[in-house]
Each structure stands twice: as C-alpha cells, then as structure tokens.
C-alpha cells in the first residue's frame, strides 16, 4: 500500500485507535523522550505532539508495535512481505522450459519495472515552502537523553551518490545539530555513504548530501534495510508500496529526494575539512555511544511541504520503537538469506534484548554432521550479519519466537565443552565490550540434535534432570550467602529446567570473577548448572530480560568466558561468563566504558506532574526510576567511584 504522504498514514493510525494527539505543551528537550520511553515499553500508541513551542508537530512511536510496523509497510503481517519476496525469487530463478514459460514472466517483469524510482519534473510537495534563511534549529529536533551532546535528528533518510558510478545510496544515520546551518554526519566505517565520502576525498571534491524526513513510512524503513551494495533502497520502497517512488531534484545540489517528503535538508560534506567532535548519544544498545569525530554537514537549503509533520524516534534500553523496525528486517530478509546464502535456514529471530547485533537465533533443517557450524560461518559472512556477537543454531519443531522454549531446547542439546565455539571478527562500532573498537569476540552455540558422528560416547550427557536441577536452588542460595561480595541471585531459570544461573557481584580485584566461579562450581550445589553468568551488583538481576540485555552488551564472549570441567561423576561441564563492566584496574581494559540511559529526576518529575493532562490513560511510571539506580558514577562515560 502506498501512502500519499505521512499525514495519510497518521489518519490510518488515528482511525484504527493507534494514535494519541497530545495538546499539552511538551518540550522536545528530554520531555518527549521521557513520555515516549514510558509508552513504548508498554507497547502503547503512536504519539503526535501538537504543542512543542515550534511551528511543526512531532510524530513519534509511529511504528512502535508489530501491528503499526505492518501498517506502515501496507501489510497485515510482516511475514507477508517475506513471502512475497520468496515467491518473486522462485518465479524469477526457477527453470523456464519453454517459450511459453518465458512469456508468462513478462507481466511480472513489468511489475518489477513499475517499482523502480522515477524522476519527475518541477517541484514536489516537499518543496512547497522554501526556508529563506535555512535554519535547522527551527525544527523541533529532540535532545533525547541527559548526557547527549545536543539535539539529534534521529530518522533522517540520507541520500548520497558514488562519484564514479553515480549509483545512489540511501541510509539512516543520526545527525547532531551544532548550529543553524551545520550538523554532524554520523556514518560508520562499514557504511556505504562512508565509502562514498572516501571516494570524494580522493577526488578532492565536496560531497553533496540530501536528507529527507517523513513522507511514506516505507522510505524510512528502506533506509535502514541491509541491502547489497548497488541495490537502490528506493526500489525496495517501491516494492513495499507496490508503486514507484517519485523523486524531484534538490534546489541547491545535484541529488534527488522523494517528492512527498515532509522536510528536505540539502547540503554538502567537505572531505578536506576537519571532523567535528560528535556525541555522546543515547543509543539503541541502551548505553551512550561516546563522543568521536565525524564529518561536518553544511546546510545549503531547507524546504518542506505545507503543514508538515516532524517524524522522529528515540532509542534506548529495549524495548523501543526501533525493535519493530528490526523485526521487519528479520521477517523481510529471511527469504533472501535462506535462498541465496544459507538454504537450510527455516527461520531466524533477533531477540529484542540482543539489540540487533548481539544475539541471533537461527533454526535450520539439519541433514548432516557439522551443519550448524557451517551455518554459523555462512551467516557471519552475510552482509551485516558479520556484526553478530552470539549466534545460536537450533533444529526440530522448536518455536524460536518463544524465548523459554528456546532456552529449554538449548539446555537439553548442548554440552558446553563440545557445542560452544569461539571466534573473532568485525564487531558493531557501538559494541563497547570489545578490547579494540569494532573488532571482538564471537560465540556460536550448536543446539541442534546431535547425529551419531557428533557424539563422543565418553562425554557427559546433554540432558539435565529437571527435578534434580530445581532441587539445587535451595543449596545454591545457602552457598552464595557465604560470600559477602555476591549480592544477588536469579535462579528462576533453574526451576524451569534451564541450567543457567545469574549472580551479581561487587567486583573489587583482578581475577575476582574467576575466583568466585571456581569456588562456587567446586561445590556439589552447582553440579548441574551448565552456564554461570556474573553481572554487576548495581542492577536488578531478578528481571531475566534485563539480565540478558546487560550480559549481551557487556560480554566479549571469546575474552570473557572460562570453561570449567566437571569434577565429579554425573555432573556437567560448566561455562562461566563475566558480564560485568570491564576496567583498566581489574581487567586491563583500555577503553572508556559508557553509562546506561536514564532520564534525569527533574524531567521524570515534570512528566509525572502533567501525565493526567496528556490523554494517555492510566499513569505509567518512568522506567528511569529503576535504571537511574543502576547508573555508574560520571556522565556518559563511567568512572570509578
């Protein structure tokens, strides 16, 4: 379904009871974030802030549930698009035995051609109003979190071209506003636009950049999609909409933008200019990404449609709106991955606690020994899957969208000494756990049913007796009380038959985690616990989802694991993970460690006071009340107390 403009999408949401208009004054600096954070964690409605002190309303959380994400892409279910892609692949690549078979393809080829973006003459709706003196500070750009370096444009659809081939790239990179006519351009080293920038630098030329905001939601989604180099993201948008994207030429640079966008910001990056210190920024990991140097984007024009909406989002501790954008990618790109790269894949899921790059679960149809390891290596070589830190491969009839079912499946099929593999390679730039930026450890877990060739007859059994495991809970609780530095336990998974235990520790010396792990695992109380995860004593480990989120962010699995062999008969081998913060003093860690995200007390109090006037129903407490207790000393960068 193609939307004529963003306003049409808003009407659809409102008619479906999926949007709330907020008429109370709310400040884009911190206050909109605080409201959106509360609502998004409850999977609440899209929010349209109509009174922000600026001329333009702010739309946020518009794709903040699976239902609204599907509505944005014009389908009833996100799997529908994946099935459409799979059907298209099969029809295009299947054998054509006769001329008649080939002729039958013509209508489909014509349909594909109709999705290609098209340049139109004249001005588009996005250019109905031309700002005479371009000033990006007139837009209601959010400052999201207290330690952010400033306000950030968070949903900019950024268009660049390769200076040699003219091939367009469309990406989504945050933009910190520095003044009326300059922002940062935060493209990471692995991104296509960064490669374009390097080519302009070699040529000694300024790089034109066009930024659009709003329009059909398919544009925003397509800018995030992990497409192969050279594939136009606007063609994907055309496929999603089943209608081509109409493009108009910018007024001051030689680039094109969607005619129905709400805002267009035109400008350039000068590769010969010094970079600017950009950030910190409260990121999708739930931690601040720390300040670093990025190119300056100079604004030459700002245009917008009449009565535009400023589309934005926040990212932070999951779940947030971006989780559903990631879910769309998971469902849409499953078919291309399994048809072109890893054909044995049946399904794939990126759990929200893994914040996209930290964790992926892959389900396969297993036919031969070693197949799970083959799949891991293939996936780590498939585009942006190279950033995946931890990969779990399962088979059988397991529903991988049920976290508890997956955990039980893993528990019964994994011998930690045999089925866990460690490697290293490219990591996401935002992975703060790596000893070196963008390069770190990876872990693969083969949780498939083992074939005869994969079984060592002398090895310990994979299965753990559920009743015996539950019986360990009291003994473990009593044992841990003997150690003052161990602050809390979460043994809830043991009672479900899942041999994983979380322990929080006040780490105060080198080797402390391994020392405590050896002490605990030498006791018979831990005889059936396969996985022991240490976390920090400032967090609430009773929440398993939060525990997994913090662990997945804080661990370099290759560096931070220890294998411990069983010491008695009828026990299991163990693996220990250090999911605590790493420091120079205790871990030899030589990088800054970021803080987690939480609103400040003043902002939380202000939103508490006006909540009854927002039209959002029953009071929702601030998540930041919980997370502010877990903050490290310092600002965006954690410091030792």
Residue written as token pair 């008429």: 23
CA–CA distance from 469 to each of 475, 479, 562 (Å)?
Answer: 11, 15, 22
* Closest C-alpha to 547, from 635, 587, 488: 488
CA atoms within 13 Å, Cβ hemisphere of 310: 23
Q: Is residue 44 a contact partner of residue 158, using CB atoms and an 8 Å limit?
A: no
Per-state percent for the chain, helix, strand, coil, to nearest 5: 35, 25, 45
End-to-end Cα separation, the chain, in angstroms: 54
Annotation marks residue 283 as catalytic: yes
Residue written as token pair 């450890």: 441
DSSP string, 208-247: EEEEEE-SSHHHHHHHHS-PPTT--HHHHHHHHHTSPPEE
Q: Is residue 364 a contact partner of residue 346, using CB atoms and an 8 Å limit?
A: yes
Q: Which two tokens stand for residue 623?
A: 């998540």
Helices (H), 53-160: 66-72, 78-93, 99-103, 106-113
* Closest C-alpha to 5, from 343, 242, 348, 246: 246
3 state SS of 21: strand
* Closest C-alpha to 382, from 334, 422, 419: 334
DSSP symbol at 20 = E
Annotated catalytic residue, options 37, 148, 283, 556: 283
CB atoms within 10 A of CB 591: 14
φ and ψ of 234, to 5 deg: -70, -20
Residues known to be catalytic = 283
């Amino acid at each position: 379904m193609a939307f004529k403009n963003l306003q049409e999408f808003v009407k659809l949401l409102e008619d479906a009871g999926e949007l709330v208009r907020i008429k109370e004054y709310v400040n884009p600096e911190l206050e909109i974030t605080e409201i959106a954070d509360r609502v998004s964690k409850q999977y609440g409605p899209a929010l349209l802030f109509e009174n922000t002190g600026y001329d333009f309303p702010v739309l946020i959380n518009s794709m903040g549930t699976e239902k609204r994400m599907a509505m944005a892409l014009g389908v009833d279910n996100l799997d529908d698009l994946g099935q459409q892609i799979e059907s298209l692949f099969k029809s295009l690549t299947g054998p054509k035995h006769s001329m008649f078979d080939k002729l039958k393809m013509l209508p489909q080829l014509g349909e594909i051609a109709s999705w290609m973006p098209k340049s139109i003459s004249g001005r588009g709706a996005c250019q109905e109003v031309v700002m005479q003196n371009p000033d990006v500070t007139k837009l209601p750009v959010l400052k999201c979190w207290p330690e952010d370096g400033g306000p950030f444009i968070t949903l900019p659809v950024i268009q660049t071209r390769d200076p040699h081939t003219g091939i367009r790239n469309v990406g989504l990179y945050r933009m910190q506003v520095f003044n009326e006519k300059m922002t940062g351009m935060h493209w990471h080293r692995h991104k296509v636009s960064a490669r374009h920038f390097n080519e302009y630098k070699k040529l000694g030329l300024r790089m034109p950049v066009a930024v659009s905001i709003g329009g059909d939601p398919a544009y925003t989604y397509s800018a995030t999609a992990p497409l192969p180099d050279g594939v136009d993201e606007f063609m994907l948008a055309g496929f999603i909409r089943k209608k081509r994207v109409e493009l108009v030429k910018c007024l001051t640079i030689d680039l094109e933008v969607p005619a129905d966008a709400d805002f267009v910001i035109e400008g350039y990056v000068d590769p010969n200019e010094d970079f600017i210190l950009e950030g910190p920024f409260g990121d999708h990991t739930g931690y601040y990404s720390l300040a670093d140097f990025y190119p300056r984007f100079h604004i030459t024009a700002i245009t917008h449609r009449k009565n535009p909406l400023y589309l934005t989002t926040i990212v932070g501790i999951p779940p947030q709106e971006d989780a559903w954008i990631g879910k769309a990618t998971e469902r849409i790109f499953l078919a291309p991955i399994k048809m072109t790269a890893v054909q044995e894949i049946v399904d794939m899921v990126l759990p929200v606690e893994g914040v996209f790059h930290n964790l992926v679960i892959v389900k396969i149809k297993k036919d031969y020994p070693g197949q799970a390891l083959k799949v891991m290596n293939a996936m780590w070589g498939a585009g942006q899957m190279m950033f995946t830190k931890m990969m779990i491969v399962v088979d059988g009839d397991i529903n991988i969208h049920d976290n508890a079912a997956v955990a039980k499946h893993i528990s019964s099929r994994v011998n930690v000494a045999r089925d866990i593999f460690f490697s290293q390679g490219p990591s996401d730039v935002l992975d703060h756990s790596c000893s070196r930026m963008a390069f770190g450890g990876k872990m693969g877990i083969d949780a498939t049913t083992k074939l005869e060739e994969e079984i060592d007859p002398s090895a310990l059994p994979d299965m753990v007796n559920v009743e015996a495991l539950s019986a360990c809970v009291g003994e473990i609780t009593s044992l841990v009380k003997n150690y003052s530095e161990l602050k809390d336990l979460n043994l809830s998974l043991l009672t479900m038959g899942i041999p994983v235990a979380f322990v929080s520790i006040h780490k105060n010396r080198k080797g402390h985690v391994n020392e405590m792990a050896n002490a605990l695992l030498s006791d018979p109380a831990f005889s059936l616990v396969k996985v022991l995860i240490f976390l920090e004593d400032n967090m609430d480990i009773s929440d398993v989802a939060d525990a997994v989120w913090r662990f997945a962010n804080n661990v370099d699995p290759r560096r931070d694991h220890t294998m411990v062999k069983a010491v008695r008969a009828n026990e299991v081998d163990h693996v220990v993970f250090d999911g605590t913060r790493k420091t120079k003093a205790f871990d030899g860690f030589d990088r800054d460690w970021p803080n987690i995200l939480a609103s400040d007390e003043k902002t939380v109090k202000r939103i508490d006071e006006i909540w009854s006037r927002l039209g959002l129903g029953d009071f929702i407490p601030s998540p930041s009340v919980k997370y502010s207790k877990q903050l490290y000393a310092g600002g965006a960068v954690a410091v030792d107390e």
